[in-house]
């Protein structure tokens, strides 16, 4: 994809946000709560057999962060900008500083 370039790591938990992002080379982006890995305490792994696959309740605060990250990704792509952990974090932080609600990131007039 034009927006997602090859990187050293495509499975990233965004620092200070606490949301996991998977940036696929095919242009697909997955946003979710960081998984819990049984035993090791390590979160980012491509060995999904180690992950706890139970569904769990997501807090309203985490749900809002996931929505804001998702909308930041869509806003970056809509403007033709590269989607990287750094640009996602920048758009996320700018939306907070400007006092925007998560849904307002999708409003082109803002």
pLDDT tens, residue by residue, 18-47: 899 888 877 788 888 887 655 544 444 555
pTM of the predicted model, to two decimals? Answer: 0.78
Question: How many angstroms separate the CA atoms of 19 and 79, rounded?
Answer: 23
* Chain length of the chain: 110
Per-residue pLDDT of the chain (110 residues; tens, 9 = 90+): 456 666 666 678 888 898 998 888 777 888 888 876 555 444 445 555 555 566 778 899 999 999 999 999 999 888 888 888 899 999 999 999 999 999 998 887 66
Task: Give the count of beta carbons closer than 10 Å to the beta carbon of residue 19.
Answer: 20
């Amino acid at each position: 994809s034009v927006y997602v370039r090859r990187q050293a790591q495509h499975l990233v938990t965004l620092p200070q946000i606490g949301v996991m992002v998977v940036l696929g080379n095919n242009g697909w982006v997955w946003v979710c709560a960081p998984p819990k890995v049984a035993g090791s305490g390590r979160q980012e792994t491509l060995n999904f057999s180690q992950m706890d696959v139970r569904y769990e309740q997501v807090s309203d605060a985490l749900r809002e962060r996931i929505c804001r990250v998702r909308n930041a990704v869509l806003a970056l792509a809509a403007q033709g900008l590269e989607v990287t952990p750094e640009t996602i974090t920048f758009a996320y932080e700018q939306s907070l500083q400007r006092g925007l609600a998560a849904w307002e990131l999708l409003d082109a007039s803002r």
